[in-house]
Amino acid sequence: MKITGPVWALGAMSGTSMDGVDAALLRTDGIEISAFGESGYRAFSAAERDVLRAAQGRWPGEAGVEAAAEVIEIAHAELLSRFTADLVGFHGQTLAHEPDGRGTHQAGSGEVLAEVLDLPVVWDFRSADVELGGQGAPLAPFFHFACARWIGAREPLVFLNLGGVGNLTWVDPGCRAPESDGACLAFDTGPANAPLDDLMQARRGTACDLGGELAASGQPDADLVAQFLTDGYFLKMPPKSLDRNSFAQLPGLVAGLGDADAAATLVAVAVASVARGLEHCPATPSRLLVSGGGRKNPAMMAGLRRALDFPVDAVEAVGLDGDMLEAQAFAYLAVRVMRGLATSAPGTTGVSATVGGGRIARPGPARIG
């Protein structure tokens, strides 16, 4: 499949919150955004989430990994088969991420989906970056650059995704291309929704703090937040990345607090991590645009607004879809891979040189391209 102009790409994302699969259509030539298309969501059942949680931290061949891959492939096949597209960008489910150790592992096979969907599927986006010394994450920054251009931004701004883990992209839309020096700086900020979701599951038997009501009713423990910020991760210069379970000390840190105060403290930890991360940006951004589930938590958004001295808005304020931004990002990256364009650079993942990641699985006899 040769791409010379805009095509409809279907991106899919199953994030660290492990709530389900997002899918979104994007029309693009891999450089500019031409149009946003329809989107969809397929939730994981409680049993499926249990399978995915049981495989967290595990590598290919280890117990539970094959079952997790099957859950991911079935869920994606069910959702993606509802759409009409020219190609698919498939991220898979991250089970383990050790860029400075064993590498990175996303469950789910693009080859399986290519056969099921009868479409080219771009997948395994992170491995090439890690092999060349990069963090393999975050990978949305090049798409954020395209979004900044699409909304007509003229000054530097920050896109913040608050999923299971927080990550930000500082973008200068005045640069020539996303891989240009100074165009993007990106890194994981720290924990976001994952610790709060885990707390709610453990203490209340619910998947999340719906509407941030529990956190809003509590008082954060400022001493515990300050203690958390002494973690060595916050001393590292970006680019840098995290695994969902990188901060295994957090449940113990809030174990002595009541439910509401524990939730409020975990929200404060997420906010403080973002504020600390923004200190690394090359210039103060004109605004912060928030995507991911965290933007739906009023306690988290209020905390960001108190902590920062520039506007903080959900991405919907500029006409973007905060639920689907990451799925759209992998649609965008899939087209870039098909065209042989870069998907990450030293400023976004710390990779040694600009790199184009991703493998292409094709249906039929010529399966890999």
Confirm whether 118 is domain-assigned. yes
Is it the case that residue 367 has pLDDT exceeding 80?
A: no
pLDDT of residue 282: 95
Predicted pLDDT of residue 246: 87
Cβ within 8 Å of residue 73, ≥6 positions away? 108, 109, 112, 113, 116
Regarding whether 280 and 173 lie in a shared domain, the answer is yes
190 plus 295 within the same structural domain: yes
First to last CA, the chain: 10
Under the banding of pLDDT at 50, 70 and 90, the label for residue 82 is very high
What pLDDT shows up at residue 310?
97
Sorted by sequence, the CB contacts under 8 Å of residue 216 that are 6+ apart come out as: 264, 298, 299
Give the pLDDT of residue 127: 95
Question: Which residues lie closer than 8 Å to 8 by C-beta, 6 or more apart?
Answer: 25, 26, 27, 37, 84, 85, 86
Residues 121 and 253 in one domain: no
**Mean pLDDT over residues 271-293, rounded?**
96
Q: Are residues 115 and 157 in the same domain?
A: no
DSSP code string of 211-249: GGHHHHTS---HHHHHHHTTSGGGGSPSS----TTTTTT
Please check the confidence at residue 369 and state whether its pLDDT lies above 70: no
Are residues 165 and 295 located together in one domain of the fold?
Answer: yes
The rounded radius of gyration (Å) of the Cα atoms in the chain is 19
For residues 235-254, give the mean pLDDT. Answer: 89
Whether residues 45 and 192 share a domain: the answer is no
Query: CA 237 to CA 235: how far, in whole Å?
Result: 6
Mean pLDDT of 323-338: 97
Asked if residue 192 and residue 291 are part of one domain, the reply reads yes
Residues 104 and 239 in one domain: no
Residue recorded with tokens 């790199």 = 355
pLDDT for the residue 220: 98
Whether residues 124 and 162 share a domain: the answer is no
pLDDT at 56: 93
Contact (CB, 8 A) for 213 and 301: no
* 184 assigned to some structural domain: yes
pTM beyond cutoff 0.85: yes
Same structural domain for residues 253 and 307?
A: yes
Mean pLDDT of 269-287: 97
Does residue 143 lie within any of the structural domains? no
Q: What pLDDT does residue 366 have?
A: 47
Look at residue 324 in the predicted model and tell me its pLDDT: 95
Provide the 8-state DSSP code for 335. Answer: H
Instruction: Count up the domains in the chain and report the number.
Output: 2
Q: Is the pLDDT of residue 241 over 90?
A: no
Is the pLDDT at 336 greater than 90, yes or no?
A: yes
User: What percent of the chain stands above pLDDT 70?
Assistant: 99
Tell me the two tokens of residue 113.
Answer: 């989906």
Length of the chain equals 369
Query: Does the pLDDT value for residue 23 go beyond 50?
Result: yes
**Span 58-73, average pLDDT:** 97
Tell me the mean pLDDT in the region 255-277: 98
Q: Is the dihedral of CA 145, 105, 53, 91 positive or negative?
A: positive
- Whole domain around residue 42: which residue ranges? 7-138+355-361
DSSP codes joined into one string, 249-272: THHHHTTTS-HHHHHHHHHHHHHH
Residue 323 CB neighbour total at 10 angstroms: 18
Asked whether residue 3 carries a pLDDT value surpassing 90, the answer given is no
More confident residue, 115 or 15: 115
pLDDT at 186 over 70: yes
- Would you say residue 328 lies in a domain? no
Q: Is the pLDDT of residue 368 over 60?
A: no
Mean pLDDT over residues 243-258, rounded? 91
Residue 77: CA count within 13 A, CB half-sphere: 17
Q: Compute the distance between CA of residue 330 and CA of residue 309 in angstroms, rounded to an integer.
A: 32
**What tens digit of pLDDT does each residue of 131-154 get?**
999 999 899 999 999 999 999 999
- The phi and psi torsions of 236 (rounded to 5 degrees) equal -75, 140
Give the model confidence (pLDDT) of 95-123 as tens digits.
Answer: 999 998 999 999 999 999 999 999 999 99
pLDDT in tens, 32-56: 999 999 999 999 999 999 999 999 9
CB 261 within 8 A of CB 203: no
Residue 200 lies in a domain: yes
For residue 327, being part of any structural domain is answered with no
Q: Please check whether residue 83 lies inside any domain of the structure.
A: yes
Tell whether 122 and 234 lie within a shared domain. no
- The mean per-residue pLDDT over the stretch 71-88 comes to 98
- Grade residue 207 by pLDDT with cuts at 50, 70 and 90: confident
Within a domain: 336: no
pLDDT value at position 365? 61
What mean pLDDT is reported for the chain?
95
Do residue 175 and residue 305 come from a single domain? yes
The CATH number that applies at residue 260 is: 3.30.420.40
